[in-house]
Amino acid sequence: MVGNPASGALRRGLRVVALLGTLWAGQALAQDAAPATDAPAAATSDFAKTQRLEELRYRHLWIAYGAAWLIVFGFVWRTWKQAEETDRSLADLKRRVAEMEGKSDG
């Protein structure tokens, strides 16, 4: 299955998803690095630290859910394509067996 165009499309799709995830994570980290200048640092430092940890925890949760769904989707898609290929091979084999039986009868 080296020349299977469907596997190439899956790889390209996974690369796009990985690139978008990297860009999204980088953008989110850049937002976290921006200092808050409108509030006193002493009053909001604990709250900001707690808020940042909460956002980081939920961000990782969404990334994990997204990765799990991508894995499930990839598995289902690949299984579907392999089943189609198996069906085609089986139909070809049935056709060849029918041809051979026809030649041996006549």
Pick the closest to residue 70 from 8, 23, 16, 1 (CA basis). Answer: 16
Confidence of residue 93 (pLDDT cuts 50, 70, 90): very high
pTM over 0.75: no
Pick the closest to residue 9 from 69, 78, 66 (CA basis). Answer: 78
Confidence of residue 36 (pLDDT cuts 50, 70, 90): low
Chain segment 39-90, per-residue pLDDT in tens: 566 557 888 888 887 777 788 888 999 999 999 999 999 999 999 999 999 9
